[in-house]
Structure 1
Amino acid sequence: MSDAKHAPDTLAAQGLGWIAPIHRDLAPPIHPSSTFERGADGSFPGGRVYARDQSPAYDQAEALLAALEGAHQALLFPSGMAAATTLLQALEPGSRVLAPRAMYWALRNWMQELAARGQIALDFYDNADTAALRARIATQPPRLLWVETPANPTWEITDLTAACAAARAHGSLVAVDSTVPTPVLTRPLELGADFVMHSATKYLNGHSDVVAGALACRADSPVWTRVRQNRALGGAILGPFEAWLLLRGMRTLALRVRHASASALAIARTFERDPRLAAVLYPGLPGHPGHATAAAQMQGGFGAMLSIRVAAGEQAALAATGRLQVFKRATSLGSVESLAEHRFSVEGPGSQCPPDLIRLSVGIEAVEDLLADLDQALG
């Protein structure tokens, strides 16, 4: 199947149309072998030496993600954190990294740890302030600009086109955590980014049964060469069964993301003016400060993540979370079941999350059931 002739939905649904040889299997086989036979002359007729960096288990999932992102190449990792860390370690020691203030808390904490060790120089910018970001890049150009949009868990929007243009003008690389929008809604490489990172545990897999990560690049480069080397030599690889499950999940990616995004928008609209809430944080609402930018760079929806801030404060937010029945109280996002978390208590000391905030990951259940569940939980 040609990538150029078919829509992303078709490519995903058919896994690029790859058919297994010999038996013509529609479901791809699992490749568990850790090693491969040499020919009698010492050559490798199968083109593989060792599975740490050459397993055929990754081929189809990596090729599909590269096609969906419009990437030169994609690589799988055992977690999203492993993918991000591998990219950071591919930078020259002491490289300056400019990261957003609102971002996945574990990665922010890890970046701060790397900075404390002297491995990177770290600074932060306000996600939605494009003018200030341009000025920061011009004044002290980073080696790498890290972007997360929409930004977890308060869902600020960064103007990707403007951020990438500013970075490129000053020789900076751009990496985008695109876990939440997925390539169904946003393709950062087309907007000027150099790298895209996914916690593939979330929407790409979508079934709460795989921990995985992925990186994709716009073009080959010395940094990307080091990423490949670091993955191979550091052993940051995904197991064959996990790669197979990830590929299976990706084949329904478009359906899941669009359905869940439509439900999230319905929830946001329903509770936008509810007096029990101090705010509904969702870029699909016209009153969201980043709505116009999100509409320009998110095609076909605004994502399935939103947060609500309970008017009565932290204890009321904790109590409401405890009353949820359809929404499951669990860490993670992007799965078929809807999840809810009181993020302040989950993140612990140093959390920048408002204590009255409940983060919602909307799944694919009937939206009427989700609306009713939130209504009864709020009391």
Structure 2
Amino acid sequence: MHRHLYPMLVAASFAFAAPANAQDYTIEMLQENLDRPWGFDFLPGTDRIALTLRGGDVLLWHPDGLVELTGAPDVVFGGQGGLLDIAAAPDFAQSGWLYMTWTGAAEGGTTTHLGRARLDGMALRDLEVLHAVSPGIDSGAHFGSRIAFADGHVFAGFGDRGFKNFGPDHIAQDLGSENGSVIRLTLDGEIPADNPFVGQTGAAAAIWSYGHRNIQGMTVHPDTGAVWVAEHGEAGGDEVNVIQRGGNYGWPLASFGVTYRGGDEFAPPHQPGDGFVAPAFHWPAGRDNHNPPSGMVFYDGDAFSDWQGHLLIGNLLHRYLALFDEEGGELTPVARLLDGQNWRIRDVAVGPEDGFIYVLTDGEDGKLLRLRPAG
């Protein structure tokens, strides 16, 4: 890997009229020509953004240009795998830690790794693996993964690796497997003693919740501190979930989705009292209703005053940024932002200083965008 400057892009902007029940906004193009970007985060106290390319590069964006950092982890790039999420530690200003998830080799195939490295100038140093999901599997699908920090711990959400046995033996229902789960660790990668399955025979002690299909979004509610995730359904039935300690989210024994081939119901929908945690929101069943979510964030800035407390979730297939009103853990759709721009939305964040909305698009010509109020 080598360090180089990417071509500097002069920000371009154009106005976009939002739906009647949402504020108008202007889109600014901050960077183009990003090869399969996946995650990004602001570096606290700076004007810089760290972002990942799935092929294995960690980049540092700032208003003067874009630089590739040295010291990124070695990744297995292929299928849906590669270098995935990135998040600055809560104490980044003191520690310099950047947390990352990536696909790496493991016994049995590949798996998702959670690790961290210190940002030192234009280099990542002291790279360490905090956790490797077990078991490794020979599959290129459903790695997840997203990172969030809450209650002094690091949470990471993973996928089920495309496991196709839709019965009770599915890997996401196996407490001995961390695939299809959310894990909770200390910031140093240790397993907390109060994790729900610590000491349970045959269970992976890192698991905080399970029964997930493919987690692609994760954020923390600014008022309640609860961890929220967005995950893909089979065909439709994509979900937004509020994570509970020890919760079983049902996949594939309870789902609002149907099979890709034939549209058959392979599990009953979530029902009260079925032992599974039902989603806070789900999209309808059916391949035409498939709304695979991606990065998500609660809006807590001042720039878009009408959107305070709303939830933003990217959409990959239908290529829009969803805006939801949230009240008491329930979501109501408000608007489809960026609809018609033909951009697969991969990640979203709120600028900590300006309150603008930053968006990362997917693909071989990925873009870093900024949404600011019109006028």
TM-score range, shorter chain: under 0.3
Q: Which has the higher contact order (CA 8 A, sep 6+)?
A: 1
Q: Which entry has the higher C-alpha Rg, 1 or 2?
A: 1
Higher helix share: 1
Q: What's the TM-score once normalised by structure 2's chain length? A: 0.25
Higher strand share: 2
Q: What's the TM-score once normalised by structure 1's chain length? A: 0.25
